[in-house]
Structure 1
Amino acid sequence: MSSVAVMLGRLATDSNPEMKQKVATFAGTLCSELPKAAGVHMKGVVVGLTANLTHQHSKVRKITLKGLKDVIVARGAESFLGDSIAQLKYSMNDRSQDVRKTFYDVLRHWMTHMELSALREQ
Structure 2
Amino acid sequence: MSAVNFEQWAVPDLKLPFGGRTYSVRPPTVEAAKQILAAAVLGEVKFGLHPGPVPGEIVTILSTIGDAHPALGDEAYAAMVADGVPAASIDRMSVYATFYWARGREYADIFARLFWTPRDVDLDEAGEPAPKDS
TM-score (norm: length of structure 2): 0.25
Higher helix fraction: Structure 1 or Structure 2? 1
Higher strand fraction: Structure 1 or Structure 2? 2
